[in-house]
Amino acid sequence: MKNAWVSETLHSGIELKLRVEKSLYLSNSLSQKIEFVKTNRFGTALIMDGAIQTTTEDEFIYHEMMSHIPLFSHPKPEKVLIIGGGDGGILREVLKHKAVKKITVVEIEKQVIEQTKKYLPQICKDAFKSKRLELIIADGAEFIKNKSKLYDVAIIDSPDPAGPAKVLFENNFYRNISKILKSNGIMIRQSGSSFLQKEELKDNYKKLSKIFKYTNVYITAVPTYIGGFFNLIFASDKINIESLSLATIKKRVQKNKIKTKCYNPEIHLASFKLPNYIREIIGDKK
């Protein structure tokens, strides 16, 4: 394995290569190729169909920004829905919030949970043992149909819009998410690279801003998600991130002391300030 590398082949014309110390698991079924590798520089990595899903060295950025932004934007997040999220990273972060009474994780692949527990235990830690967790193995898009006003926060932790995850980027899905949220609920999803997945961002933003009153893009940077700023989307019918003050967020964070490696109240608001080229993608004429 001395000169082995793994390449991300998600985008055409640009690839990220990570040097591999050891291959831990490889399953090449008809529907999906799943790989766990120990890399030299980013710890253990999970790669699905050629796309890097997560690594133990930089996962904290994505998982914290997907969790603490909605939870500290909400005055009292008691019930949280996670669609996808089989690696347990978002669950781990949501569990840090004392206000949260129940977390429903809807993962389509039981295997993902079992494998990540085995090969990426650093990510989920003890999260799947929590008594506040309701774990459901089902298609997230099916699960949310015909349900209403159940959750304060819904976090869509899906891979890129291809294969089984494609349905999690469609109008129908977003409409059902808006129905399953309580009136002051918040929805969060990732929306890819600001350079390599511009169309995806444009499309997600357009769809969501037709359904929700307030739709905002926020950004971070994750080393193994290449392509510059990484986009996330915040959508709500009642909570306007632009009226949220730093003082309010600080108060909430102080009340619920949590340890984070990326998130803090200043970053919370700063991440919603977008460079002009991202404003342009979403048609924001500010």
- Interface with a second copy includes 196 (CB under 8 A)? yes
Question: Could you say which of 53, 73, 104, 193 contacts a second copy (CB under 8 A)?
Answer: 193
State how far the Cα of 69 lies from the Cα of 77, in Å rounded to an integer: 12
Query: For residue 92, what are the contacts with CB-CB under 8 A and spacing of at least 6?
Result: 63, 123, 124, 125, 127
- Interface with a second copy includes 209 (CB under 8 A)? no
Site for a second copy in 3-42 (CB under 8 A): 5, 7, 11-19, 39-42
Taking the least distance from each CB to a second copy, the nearer of 194 and 236 is: 194
Stretch that binds a second copy, among 128-136, 149-157, 208-216, 267-275 (CB under 8 A): 267-275
Catalytic residue among 157, 160, 237, 284: 157
- Interface with a second copy includes 228 (CB under 8 A)? yes
User: Are 233 and 216 in contact, with CB atoms under 8 Å apart?
Assistant: yes
At residue 174's C-alpha, the angle toward residues 12 and 93, to 5°, is 80
Taking the least distance from each CB to a second copy, the nearer of 5 and 128 is: 5
Rounded to whole angstroms, what are the CA distances from 167 to 128, 142, 233? 26, 10, 17
Kind and range of the H or E run holding 248: helix 246-255
- Interface with a second copy includes 71 (CB under 8 A)? no
State how far the Cα of 110 lies from the Cα of 284, in Å rounded to an integer: 40
Draw the binding track, 113-142, toward a second copy (x: CB under 8 A; -: no contact): ------------------------------
State how far the Cα of 57 lies from the Cα of 46, in Å rounded to an integer: 12
DSSP-derived secondary structure for 207-238: HHHHHSSEEEEEEE--TTS-SSSEEEEEEESS
152 is catalytic: no
- Interface with a second copy includes 89 (CB under 8 A)? no
Q: Are strands 33-39 and 44-48 parallel, antiparallel or unpaired?
A: antiparallel
Taking the least distance from each CB to a second copy, the nearer of 71 and 226 is: 226
Question: Could you say which of 37, 48, 61, 235 contacts a second copy (CB under 8 A)?
Answer: 61
Q: Are strands 79-84 and 151-157 parallel, antiparallel or unpaired?
A: parallel
Site for a second copy in 234-263 (CB under 8 A): 260-263
Give the nearest distance from C-beta 15 to a second copy in angstroms: 4
Annotated catalytic sites, by residue?
A: 157
Residues that bind a second copy (CB under 8 A): 5, 7, 11-19, 39-42, 57-58, 60-61, 193-196, 219-223, 226-230, 260-264, 266-267, 269-271, 273-277, 279
